[in-house]
Structure 1
């Protein structure tokens, strides 16, 4: 990275046994690769950052140089603006300071990647966030064999088990169609990046018009530019027939629900929240939503265990989510398991709130 030559081979002499050291360690700035002198998804500004995906808790502004998967370029630039960005095709390898680095599909959102790091006879994989379920808006998760696997555990409890997409989208379309019959808008709150596009890819646009909040528009544009098919969408200012507002499916960030922007859809508009957290019914009631749809861009409990098992790793490091429960379970299964303290998982909602506030005047 940063001008390093590309190499299809592993670094070093295959017969040479170097001292065994951790290839990724914790530092105040983030997860650091000592032999390569770079960080993975740092939460403080650093000289060289390898980015797994463009969500704001993993991709932050201020780094000197960014390395990311090629499909993520559009969303990264939409979120971070002008940055020094180097991209790799999935599976392409580079050698930096003797460390071989490659990026592999994580199935989380457009351009999401697992970071494979090889040095001194060891292979580590940092997964960022990932999902093993099919998703037409991004490349599918690719298991990568390794010695050490760094995994998330956002939904790392047995209660989290997702239903098939066809069942989920049938629920959403049925709810929308019923609201159209009652002449009321259907509002779905979800994260502007990733969740919104996955939702749009699965709905039936023949039911009615689709309106998106201004915070969602630049991300949709980036997805379309990357070749992802999404239905036609409009901003509310582009709607000529006001009757369409009461037949529409409205996709917006959670912060827009209850805002003045939403009032134009009528006082009787039905509001739903699309998130994996809707698996727990109390979360919908506490949020004041009429309906909850269990839609997640993270792996559920079976998906996490499937992904971890497919790596063949005997050592697993858990970064965020239900890390204590996941470490305990993996240890009981005979694996060497531990946790890293990170700052992942908290900024996505805040970023959407900021985007909604900034986009509202012209939304």
Structure 2
């Protein structure tokens, strides 16, 4: 019995025929990277290959690295194995990685979502025999509302807070979620202030995306400037002395986990908006069906439950352990956390 084209080991997802890893979590010689979140693009690899729009993002996060950028659908061959990158719709520059060898095709999804958010290049299903899928929100309980509705709710919340003389503090991950929120915040309501970690990442992304004006928060920003306006901040800023100068304020979080009633309470958040950069239950199922695959490998998230359901639907499904963390992996890197004070 021949070994699988892609195998899981203690360093990551390995293609032995090409001697290359996909999103490895330990240092390797050659890595193909699906996107810029910290759990998928880690420091220490000798050579990185990723989509060209992800190049400035991972350089910002990882520093001086050797990286090659590829275009969508551009084929590149390593030791007779053909690779290509395809839109994952997760965040800017996020890719699915297609791997083909002797007629066998695998696709590694990385993280992905099917809703066109107007920011990332929309997800495109890729035909394959075997599909490696995340399961971050792989439960039937997760069903997302349309983005337009969620963003309307956020702007209405901000408007009401402004009328009440309060500052709106909205928490979202510095890469991906923050820019998605920023793209659809209504600047006619007031000014948009940003935490340094979010502003630094947004500066990297601005050349790729039209975004409204923002004001970086510094030590010189006066308390009275915040009243009635909105502040975008990473989740790690919650509960720090950094937000004290914004009193009186109201807090909110934009996350798929806000679908759980207890999540907002545990995080001491005033308001929760259900907005995720991952697929909901139906999005996962629709995506898998569209690939035409026979085998499915379920990784991070509700992998056991989701894999069992797929098996009942006739797929050859199993789980594999990884060090990917779904939305938790979108937290700030160490350098970004140091911006918080």
Shared topology, TM-score over 0.5? yes
Query: Would the alpha carbon gap of residues 66 and 349 (structure 1) be closer, same or farther in structure 2, given more than 3 Å must change?
Result: closer
User: Is the 2:175–2:330 contact (alpha carbons within 8 Å) kept by the matching residues of 1?
Assistant: no
User: Is the 2:223–2:245 contact (alpha carbons within 8 Å) kept by the matching residues of 1?
Assistant: no
Q: Which runs of 5+ in 1 are unaligned?
A: 1-18
SS at match of 1:44: coil
Query: Would the alpha carbon gap of residues 261 and 230 (structure 1) be closer, same or farther in structure 2, given more than 3 Å must change?
Result: same
TM-score under structure 2 length normalisation: 0.96
Q: 1:121 aligns with which of 94, 103, 117?
A: 103
| Separation of aligned partners in 2, 1:255 and 1:82 | 25
Which residue of 1 is the match for residue 239 of structure 2?
A: 258
SS at match of 1:138: coil
Q: 2:291 aligns with which of 311, 330, 339?
A: 311
User: Is the 1:122–1:147 contact (alpha carbons within 8 Å) kept by the matching residues of 2?
Assistant: yes
Which residue of 1 is the match for residue 134 of structure 2?
A: 152
Cα deviation, 1:227-275, whole Å, max 9, x if unaligned, reads x111110112398675330111111111111111101111x20011110
Pairwise mapping of residues 160-309 of structure 1 onto structure 2 (< 5 A)?
160-226=142-208, 228-237=209-218, 242-266=223-247, 268-309=248-289
Q: 2:68 aligns with which of 70, 83, 86?
A: 86
Which residue of 2 is the match for residue 47 of structure 1?
A: 29
Equivalent residue pairs, number: 341
Query: Would the alpha carbon gap of residues 120 and 213 (structure 1) be closer, same or farther in structure 2, given more than 3 Å must change?
Result: same
| Separation of aligned partners in 2, 1:238 and 1:199 | 24
Which residue of 1 is the match for residue 8 of structure 2?
A: 26
User: Is the 2:39–2:330 contact (alpha carbons within 8 Å) kept by the matching residues of 1?
Assistant: no
User: Is the 1:57–1:347 contact (alpha carbons within 8 Å) kept by the matching residues of 2?
Assistant: no
| Separation of aligned partners in 2, 1:322 and 1:357 | 28
User: Is the 1:254–1:353 contact (alpha carbons within 8 Å) kept by the matching residues of 2?
Assistant: no
Which residue of 1 is the match for residue 302 of structure 2?
A: 322
Query: Would the alpha carbon gap of residues 216 and 29 (structure 1) be closer, same or farther in structure 2, given more than 3 Å must change?
Result: same
Query: 1:21 Cα shift?
Result: 3.5
Which residue of 1 is the match for residue 323 of structure 2?
A: 343
Query: Would the alpha carbon gap of residues 349 and 57 (structure 1) be closer, same or farther in structure 2, given more than 3 Å must change?
Result: closer
TM-score under structure 1 length normalisation: 0.91
| Separation of aligned partners in 2, 1:289 and 1:320 | 26
Query: 1:35 Cα shift?
Result: 0.6
User: Is the 1:32–1:40 contact (alpha carbons within 8 Å) kept by the matching residues of 2?
Assistant: yes
SS at match of 1:360: coil
| Separation of aligned partners in 2, 1:347 and 1:310 | 24
| Separation of aligned partners in 2, 1:282 and 1:30 | 33
Is it true that 1:59 corresponds to 2:41 in the alignment? yes
User: Is the 1:208–1:248 contact (alpha carbons within 8 Å) kept by the matching residues of 2?
Assistant: yes
Which residue of 2 is the match for residue 16 of structure 1?
A: none
| Separation of aligned partners in 2, 1:155 and 1:223 | 27
